[in-house]
Amino acid sequence: MYTAKNTDTKKAVILWFFTIGYMSLIFYLSSQNYNLPKLPANSDKLIHACIYFPLAFLFYLSLRTCGIRKHILAVAFLLAGIYGITDELHQFFVPGRDASIGDAVANFTGALLGSIGASIFRT
C-alpha cells in the first residue's frame, strides 16, 4: 500500500523524468542542422520562447514536488534560463547552427513566462 510519502516520491521521479527528458529533446534538436525556409525577421525568437516556456513550467512542478517552496518561481526561471544559455553555447559548436544573445534573451523570456504560468497554475 502506498503512503503519501511514497506517492509524492513517485510523482517527483516522474516529473523529473519528464523535465530531464524535455531537456534532452532540446539538446537533440539543437544538435540538428535544419534547412528551414526563410522565416520572418525575429520570428525565431518566438520559437525559442515557446520552447523554454514548458521547460520552466516542468522545473517549477518538479521542484515543488521535492518540497521546495521558497523562491521557487525564481529558481525555476533561473534553471531554465541557464539551460538556455548552455544550449546557445552548444549551438555555437554545431555546424550550420549559430548562437546569439537575442536567442538567449528569448529563452529567458519563455522561461520567465513558464515560471509565472506554473505559479498561477499551482495556486
Cell of 121: 497554475
Beta-carbon contacts of residue 115 (< 8 Å; ≥ 6 apart): 56, 57, 59, 60, 73, 74, 76, 77, 80
Residue 76 within any structural domain of the chain = yes
On whether residue 39 sits in a domain, the answer given is no
**Taking residues 80-107, what's their average pLDDT?**
93
Indicate whether 45 belongs to any domain: no
Global pTM reads 0.88
Q: Does 8 map to a domain?
A: yes
The answer on pLDDT for 34 being more than 60 is yes
Q: What is the mean pLDDT of the chain?
A: 90
Number of domains in the chain: 1
Give the domain range for residue 78.
4-32+50-122
The reply to whether 40 falls in a domain is: no
